[in-house]
Amino acid sequence: MLEATPLGEGWILRTPGSTAAALPAEVPGCVHTDLMAAGVIPDPFLGRNETEVAWVGRRDWTYERDLSVPSGHEQTDLVFDGLDTVAEVMLDGRPLGRVRNMHRSHRFDVTGLSGRLTVRFVSAYAEAEAIRGKLGERPAAYAEPFQYVRKMACSFGWDWGPTLVTAGIWRPVRLEHWSTARIARVRPLVTVEEGLGRVELAVDVERTRVEAPLAVEATVGGVRARASLDGTQAVVRLEVPSPRLWWPRGYEEQPLHDVELTLLHGDEPLDVWRRRIGFRSVELDRSADAHGTGFTLVVNGERLFARGVNWIPDDVFPSRVTRARYRERLGQAADAGVDLVRVWGGGIYESEDFYDACDELGLLVWQDFPFACAAYPEEQPLRGEVEAEARENVVRLMPHPSLVLWNGNNENLWGFRDWDWEGRLAGESWGEGYYLGVLPRVVAELDPTRPYTAGSPWSGGWERHPNDPAHGTHHSWEVWNREDYAEYRANVPRFMAEFGWQAPPAYATLRRALPDEELAADSPGMLHHQKADDGNGKLRRGLERHFAFPEGDFDRWHYLTQVNQARAVATGIEHWRSHWPVCAGTVLWQLNDCWPVTSWAAIDGDGREKPLCHELRRLYADRLLTLQVREPGLVLAAVNQAAEVWAGAVRLRRMSVEGVVIGETSASVLAERRSVALVGVPRELEPAGPKEFLVADADGLRALHFPAPDREIPYPRPEFEVEIVPGGVRVTAGTLVRDLLLQADRLDPAARADRGLVTLLPGEQVTIGVRGWETPDPETARSALYCVEPSR
C-alpha cells in the first residue's frame, strides 16, 4: 500500500554567498515569514516596512534538510505540492530537476537515495527579467514583470496589495513509498440525467511492474463497480438512482457523497483515492435575445441571479491561510448573502480547503485561470508550463460541485482592445492563444461538464467590444474612476462581473497597522496603505458629490468614506437586481484583502467587516425592496429570489426630514418566485425637493428614496438615546437619524457588531448586538456611534 511520509520538519534557510547563520524554516511557508520569525525583518504590513524588505524578493534563497529514504518499497517519490517559484532541487549535490511554476506540483524519483536535500530558489525577478529579455517586452497595467513568470501575479503588487515577491516551499512536501503501481490521476465526471446520477472515473496509474494484472474498484452512494486496467488506464462507471441534488446556498441543501477508488493487485490494495462529490447540473445560457447576449448560470435547471463577490488571496503570504481561516472568511461571505465567489486571475488556484468550504457552504465558484491585466507571451518556456498547470488544476478541482465556471483571464481581452496594447505589440503573442485555444481545449477534453468563458469581461467574440454591457460579462470602472456612483444606473449589463467603491479598513485595523502615527487621510502611513492610482483623490471627489468634505477630521472622514462605499454598492446592486432577468448577476469587487489597506473590500485585511459587508446582507437577501427612478416616475421594485411567491402589502410614506408624514398610502405587492414585481409610486407621494424623502415598508423590509445628495438636505441635528441591554446597545431616535453606525472595534479591538448602517425615523429604535466588549457602558457606546449630520 502506498505510504506517505510528511517532510515538514527539519528545514533551514540560507541565502547563497552569505556568511550569516542558517535560520530555521517553516514548511509550508516562505522566506518572508521565516525572516520575520527570526527577527531579521520587520512585519511588512506595519507602517511603511514594506519598502524596507523589498530586498528579500531580489535575493536567491536555499532551503535544506537531511533526507533518508527507507527501503522496503520498489519506488520512493519526493513530492512537492507547490514550489514558489523558480528552483533547482538537488539531493547530495545531484540535480533532481528544475522547476519554474508556482501553480504546479512536482514529483522526483529518489528511490535508494539519501543525503542533503537542497531546494535552491532563484529570485522571481531574475527569472522574469531573463524571460522578458528572451521573448521581448509585453504591456501590462503595472510596471512589475509578473507576466513573464508563472507565479501569483499580485506578489508583485496591485492597486490594493503590497509588493512582496515571495519564494519558498509554499505547499506541503512528502515522500511517497509504493510498489507495483500507484494512482497517478483520477478524473471524475459527475452528471445528472433524468434523475440518475452518473459518476465516471477515468484512472491513470504509474507502474513499476508492467506485467502485473491490476484492477480498480470504486464506491459511491452504496453503489460499487470494478474495472480492469488496460496498461496504465481504466474507466469505472457508477450509476446512483435518484441522488439528492447539491444546490447553491439559499436554494436547497448541499448533500455531499464520499467517493472511494482503490487500485488492486489481485486482492491486495496498492493505493486509494478519496474525494467528496455532489450531484448537480450546470449550464451557462449565452443565448441571444432582444437585449443582446445573455450570461445566466443555470443550476439543476434553475436560472440564477448570481449574488457574487470577487476573491483575492487572503494573505500576500498564502501559506499562512489555514483551513479555519478559509472557513471563517467564506462563512462571512455566506452570512452576507453571497452565493458565488469568483477566484480572480491575479492570484492562485486555491487549496482544497477553500473548495471544500465552498462545497459545504453552497458557494458557487467561478475559477479564473491565473492571468490578469497584462499581455502574456505564448512562447516557450511559458507555453508548456501554462498547459501543464491547466491540466493539473482542472483535474484537481473537478470533484468539487461548487465549481461551476472556468474563465480564461481577467481583463486581458479588454486590455488588448482598449489599453493601447495592439499597436505596442506589433504582432507579438499576448495570450489570445491561451484564452481562445489552449485553455478551452484543455477544459473540453478534461472537464466537459462545466462551461468555459474566454475572459472577463468578454462579449463572446471580436465582432463586438469585449466590454459591451449588452453582451456577456461587463466590468464597470469608469464610475469609480471618474463619475458619481449614480451613474451605475445608466445601463443594464447582462452580467456585472466587476464593480466597486473604496473605503478605508476598520479603525482598529488601522491602529494596529499604523501604531505610531497620528491618523489623517493623507498621513504618510495612510498614503502608503493606499495603492490605487490617485485613490485618495477619487475618495475625496466621490465624497464631495454627496457630503461636505470633513477637512482635518479623520474620524468623520473615516465614517463618511465607509458610508459612501456602502451607498455606492447599494446603488448598483439595487438597480441591477431590479432588472432581473436581463441582468443575471453582480460580482462585487472585492470580498477580502490580503493586508491592511484602503481598498474596495467588504472585509478588511484583519478580517473585520466594513459597513459594506453588513449592507450586502440586505442587498443579497432573497427578498429586496428598492425604490427606483424609471420612466415616467418612481417605482417600487419587489425583488423576490425566494422559491415562494411574495404577496403582501407595502406602506408608502412621503415624509419631511423633520419627521412629519406629508402623504401616505398602501399598495399590494405580488412577486412570483424568482421574479421582480414593479409597483408605481403615486405622483402625489414623490418627494418634492431636498427637504422630503420617501419610505416604503413591507414585511419587515424598508426602502428609502432621498431625491438630493446629503450636502443639500437640511437634516435636523440628530438626537438619540443610548442604553446598554443584554448582548448589545439599544438606540432610540428622537429625530431622523440617517445611516447610524456603531463602530464596535472602537469599543474594543476584539468587539464585533451584528449590523452596519441603519436609518431610524423619529421614535424608532434599534438594538445592535455586540460581542467581545467586556465592560459596556452607555457613554463609551455613544462615543462609537456615528451618523450623518447637517452640512457645516
Does domain 3-176 correspond to CATH entry 2.60.120.260?
A: yes
pLDDT tens-digit map of 631-654: 888 999 999 999 999 999 999 999
What's the rounded mean pLDDT across residues 154-176? 98
Q: In whole angstroms, what separates CA 34 from the centre of its chain? A: 27
CA angle 738–743–749, rounded 5-degree value: 180
Q: What confidence score (pLDDT) does residue 230 get? A: 86
Task: DSSP letter for 68, please.
Answer: E
What sign does the CA torsion over 330, 333, 338, 342 have? negative
What value does the mean pLDDT take over residues 136-156? Answer: 97
pLDDT at 19: 64
Tell me, what's the pLDDT at 72?
87
The per-residue pLDDT for range 554-585, each reduced to its tens digit, is 999 999 999 999 999 999 999 999 999 999 99
pLDDT for 21 equals 82
- Per-residue pLDDT, averaged over 299-309, amounts to 98
C-alpha cell at 380: 516557450
Q: What is the pLDDT of residue 348?
A: 98
* Mean pLDDT calculated for residue range 519-547: 97
Note whether 180-277 and 624-712 share their fold: yes
Q: Which amino acid is at 40?
A: V
* Pairing mode of beta strands 340-343, 364-368: parallel
For residue 491, pLDDT over 70 is answered with yes
Peptide bond into 28 cis (omega under 30): yes
The structural domains of the chain, with segments of one domain joined by +, span 3-176, 180-277, 624-712, 720-786
pLDDT in tens, 250-278: 999 999 999 999 999 999 999 999 999 99
Residues 286 and 294 sit within 8 Å (Cβ to Cβ) = yes
Class of domain 624-712: mainly beta
Helix (H) or strand (E) holding 702: strand 701-705
Element (H, E) at 303: strand 302-303
162 contact partners, CB below 8 Å, separation of at least 6: 44, 45, 50, 316, 531, 594, 595, 597
Categorize the per-residue pLDDT at 227 as very low, low, confident or very high, splitting at 50, 70 and 90: very high
Distance CA 666, CA 672 (A): 20
Mean pLDDT of the chain: 97
* Mean pLDDT, rounded, for 111-122: 96
Residue 679 cell numbers, joined? 409597483
Q: What's the chain's Rg over C-alpha atoms?
A: 28
* CATH code of domain 180-277: 2.60.40.10
pLDDT range class, residue 95, cuts 50, 70, 90: very high
Is the pLDDT at 330 greater than 80? The verdict is: yes
Mean pLDDT confidence for 224-234: 95
Residue percentage of the chain with pLDDT more than 70: 100
> What's the pLDDT at 792?
63
Q: How confident is the model at residue 161 (pLDDT cuts 50, 70, 90)?
A: very high
**Could you give the residue numbers annotated as active site?**
411
Question: If you average pLDDT over residues 536-540, what whole number do you get?
Answer: 98
**Residue 80 zone, left/alpha/beta (φ > 0; ψ -120 to 50; rest):** beta
Is the per-residue pLDDT at 719 higher than 70? yes
Note whether 167 and 121 are within 8 A (CB): yes
Kindly state the cell numbers that stand for 17.
554567498
pLDDT tens, residue by residue, 750-782: 999 999 999 999 999 999 999 999 989 999 999
Closest CA to 407 of 421, 420, 394, 422: 394
Q: How many CB atoms lie within 10 A of CB 241?
A: 10
Buried/exposed code over 432-451 (b: 16+ C-beta within 10 A; e: otherwise): bebbbebbbebbeebbebbb
As separate numbers, helices (DSSP H) first and strands (DSSP E) second, the chain gives: 17, 44
The per-residue pLDDT for 466 is 98
pLDDT tens digits, residue range 9-50?
999 999 887 767 899 999 999 999 999 999 999 999 999 999
Q: 3-class SS at 371?
A: coil
Indicate the residue type of 674: R
Which pLDDT score is estimated for 632? 85
